[in-house]
Amino acid sequence: MTTNHSTVPVLPDGLVIVVKRECETCRMVVPVIAQLRGSGTTVTLYVQDDPSFPEGLNATPDADLAVSWHHDIETVPTVMRVKNGVEIERFAPIPNEPRANRRAIFFCGRHEPRKGLEYLLKAHATLPDDVDLWIASDGPETDRLKREWAGDARVQWLGRISDAEKASRLRQAAVFCAPSLGGESFGVVLIEAMAANTPIVASSLDGYMNVATNMIDAILVEPADIAALEAGLRRILDDPELAAALVERGARRATEFSMKNLALRYEEIYRRVLSSHSVRVAPVRHGRIRAWWSIAKRLRALASNSIRRMLVK
């Protein structure tokens, strides 16, 4: 990262929040921001890469991480990596849930070149006749791909589906496939499939490898390699013992990304920040740190409420 230290921005008073686009965890902060603003707290929101996120909130672009790079470096002496969180309880197997009549591969993603759907369609074409392909969502390639594969009755175009149907399809599928060619920063959907106890075949991208490990909790193949993708799918379809082993380890891996664990991690970080600066922090920063602490408590409450709702159901 190249940073121009001679142009350190002058930040406003009050609470400064930096979020990034396409981040599930950052979206959780949106109601917290609204609540803080509603209570009269001065909040300035900077957004990395995409000035339109979150929608409906007054945000300023954080070009080249200028603000987050310079902001309060002395207050946070250590860079801490925190995993994304997923409400894994929403995807967990449901006792006595009806099962699909036929084996199916599930794809859920925008129909655009980088998602690799066309490679999956070509790999699926050579699989046994009793293996369906469920394709959720839509995109700029939908019409063309539907025309080209109109003769294969095994391919089911689901269109945009609800979160509930997505969770149900994940649980019922024989394989979840994520054949992306690139541009994946984090494999949230892989965690969801792991939580649903569904074996995974995905591309060996850095973003996906943040979550999955080849032949440990998923099968990872080279992007854009139709033969490798087909072979990976066949391995899971033809080897129940391998599929079961991947599922077992994947379920354990998914728990590491639960919202409860995420909330506990944030609480730990905020406690460390408060503890390490309780004596030497300047008075002007006390209000800002109290606001940070309120966000940590809100995140933990959101996770706890989600878990309680799942237990009630």
Mean pLDDT of 183-202: 92
Prediction pTM value: 0.64
Higher pLDDT, residue 117 or 29: 117
Domain ranges of the chain: 88-255
- The full 3-state SS of 194-232, as one line of letters, equals HHCCCCEEEECCHHHHCCCCECCCEEEECCCCHHHHHHH
Rounded Cα distance between 192 and 255, Å, is: 10
Rounded Cα distance between 15 and 29, Å, is: 13
Rounded Cα distance between 218 and 198, Å, is: 10
User: Per-residue pLDDT tens for 257-289?
Assistant: 888 877 777 777 777 666 655 444 444 445 555
- Pairing status of strand 175-178 against strand 155-159: unpaired
Q: Are 68 and 47 in contact (CB under 8 A)?
A: no
Rounded Cα distance between 237 and 244, Å, is: 11
Average pLDDT over the chain, rounded to an integer: 78
Rounded Cα distance between 119 and 127, Å, is: 13
User: Per-residue pLDDT tens for 46-83?
Assistant: 665 554 445 555 665 555 445 444 444 333 333 444 55
Sequence-distant contacts of 22-25: CB under 8 A, at least 24 apart: 22/50, 22/53, 22/185, 23/84, 24/84, 24/85, 24/86, 24/188, 25/82, 25/84, 25/85, 25/262
The domain 88-255: what is its CATH number? 3.40.50.2000
* Residue 18, H or E segment: strand 15-20
pLDDT at 49: 53
- Pairing status of strand 200-203 against strand 175-178: parallel
The CA distances from residue 301 to 81, 108, 291, 304, in Å, are 21, 30, 15, 5
